[in-house]
Amino acid sequence: MNSRKGLIVLAVVLLLAVQALVVGAQETVSRVWPSSDVTSVSSGQEFTVTIYVGDAQQIYGSSFKLAYDATAFEVVQSNGKAVTPGTFFEGQPGFELKNTAQGGVVEYALTLMQPAQPVSGEGVIGTITFRALQEGAVAMAVSEASLVSPEFTEVDGRLVAQRITQVAAEVDNSQMAPLAQSAQPASASASVSVASAPSAVASVAESNPEALFNSPATGKPAGAFPSNENMPLLVAGLFFALGLILLTVSVGIYARMRTNLNLIAEESFSI
């Protein structure tokens, strides 16, 4: 009986472990990356850099900083704004917290506001038009990026935003030519995790969430989304769990058979 209970407990533990492994393998991390319509330019040529987001889940705002060499490029602003909003938040009420270009850095932050609903999926956060001041490669990088997600509470039949949380994101600058070391910020590496990086949206939300949510105020590059890298780990975990279950069952059967054989031998000896 104790052996059977032990097998049941072990099987339950292994199943829970496998379930946790499956959930972890299915989790995805949002990604933010820049892409240019050209790789090199001549002096005076204008070109566009697009900031993409992918694998986003229930996002209510975003912000980023794009670093560039101010001696090689200048931002072509429209109505005094550096970034043209993309299609990711299109059709939803919202407002910009920042939209500037100064000292070789484009800064942009936007949040939705009620009654807007959080947005998931993939799309374009914004586009920036540059003019080349000299001939050369299009070298720039996203140095910071952040996505935020709200937590709503229903009050008198109306959803009210109570708090905002940052969503884990990953910056990927691999599609852009690297900046010169002198122009590149320390945080603008080819692939940067920004889960803990503070954003303009999150900073405002922490001090005054009502200002964010109740203020009156897409194409993607080929191969941009990686396959599930956790799948080999998941398969290995399943086989490992199955092997442990079979081993435990085999040991239990062997122990029971040995006990029965000993009982038979004792009865035969008594006779």
Cut 0.95: pTM above it? no
Lowest average pLDDT, out of 128-142, 195-209, 213-227, goes to 213-227
Q: Map out the domains of the chain as residue ranges.
A: 2-23+230-270, 29-213
Report CA Rg, the chain.
28
Of 38 and 198, more confident: 38
Q: Please write the tens of the pLDDT for every residue from 124-156.
A: 999 999 999 999 999 999 999 999 988 877 777
Expressed in percent and rounded to 5, the helix, strand and coil fractions of the chain are 30, 40, 30
Q: Please write the tens of the pLDDT for every residue from 151-183.
A: 877 777 777 667 778 887 899 999 888 775 434
Residue 94: CB partners within 8 Å, gap ≥ 6? 61, 110, 111, 112, 113, 116
Enclosing H/E stretch for 250:
helix 231-270
Lowest average pLDDT, out of 29-38, 130-139, 142-151, 185-194, goes to 185-194
Q: What is the pLDDT of residue 2?
A: 54
Q: Rounded mean pLDDT of the chain?
A: 73
CB 33 within 8 A of CB 175: yes
Average pLDDT over residues 190-219: 46
Degrees, nearest 5: CA angle 198-199-201: 135
Architecture of the CATH domain 29-213: Sandwich (2.60)
Q: What is the pLDDT of residue 113?
A: 86
Residue 263: CB partners within 8 Å, gap ≥ 6? none
**C-alpha to C-alpha distance for 241 and 85, rounded to whole angstroms:** 49
DSSP codes of every residue in 63-85: EEEEEE-TTTEEE--BTTBSEEE
Residue 228: pLDDT band (50, 70, 90) is: very low
Of 233 and 40, more confident: 40
Q: What is the pLDDT of residue 39?
A: 94
At which residue do the structure tokens 């270009």 appear? 101
Average pLDDT over residues 58-87: 95
Cα torsion 218, 36, 131, 180 to 10°: value is 140
Q: What is the pLDDT of residue 204?
A: 52
Q: Which of 17-31, 84-98, 242-256 has the highest mean pLDDT?
A: 84-98
